[in-house]
Amino acid sequence: SSTTYWALVGVASVMGVLMTIPIGGADMPVVISLLNSYSGLAAAATGFVLSNNMLIIAGSLVGASGIILTRIMCKAMNRSLANVLFGGVGAVAVSKTSADAVYAGKVKASSAEEVAMLLETAARVIFVPGYGMAVSQAQHAVRSLANLLESRGTEVLYAVHPVAGRMPGHMNVLLAEADVPYDELKDMDEVNPMFAQTDVSIVIGANDVVNPVARTDPNSPIAGMPILDVDKSKIVVVIKRSLSPGFAGIPNPLFAADNTLMLFGDGKKAVNDLIQALKE
């Protein structure tokens, strides 16, 4: 009857909202991917009801690929799906290190001119995009800077972490929008061994996915999470508006490392300043 139908719609809507509301921003990609998987299961179930083989096959494919992607992303965060849905990283601050203890007197602010001088002599530059690149819409500026570097004979690559950004494949989509050649996008396993032979890594708006604490502090909320090993580059340039923490809510020792320079400011503006300084 229609009453039962509308009651079911009501219950489903309330459940959908209540299940996703408590999930934090940076966990959204996993949830979107999981919901995609559910939509496939719903389609397959509809296929059985209507005896429609096409719906059953398409629904099964969407359901399976969604859950596989969800699994990949959970692995990239070293967390279980249950923890993403019901736990929330950083809800309990396990690590007692205050930001002052990590950063005090060690953070080196830099200028576009200084970074441009480093880029001029670099043989390999790796861009590491994160949510900050998306917020400042800096992907086209990044592409222009890469073109400029490539025209001078520098090898340019992009290191993409599976959970960088706020939706599945967020960075890939943004970089594709800026016409970045697909073969320059490298995933974590492929790019990590390359950092040691990289002259300059430019981190633009990424934080937790480049935090070396994941490797060193077993009590940290991100302990064991596979990260991009940018700290192994000869020089790391971090473009960020401030020293504010990432989603996990913990300070990042990378910002205070000996080989790191901080370029404070809006992502797009900072990259455009770099392009200007390089041209001059």
Residues annotated as catalytic (active site), given as ranges: 208
Report yes or no: 60 and 46 within 8 Å, Cβ to Cβ: no
In angstroms, the CA 13 to CA 266 distance is 38
Taking the C-alpha atoms of residue 77 and residue 84, their distance in angstroms, rounded to an integer, is: 9
CB atoms within 10 A of CB 223: 15
Q: Which of 17, 32, 148 is nearest to 84 (CA)?
A: 32
Please report the sign of the dihedral spanned by the C-alpha atoms of residue 5, residue 10, residue 15, residue 20: positive
Contact of 130 with 209, CB cutoff 8 Å = yes
Distances (CA, A) of 273 to 18, 54, 144: 44, 53, 12
Which tokens in the block code for residue 180? Answer: 């970045």
Please count the residues of the chain.
280
What distance in Å separates the CA atoms of residue 168 and residue 73, rounded to the nearest whole number?
8
> Where does residue 88 fall: left (phi above 0), alpha (psi -120 to 50 degrees), or beta otherwise?
left
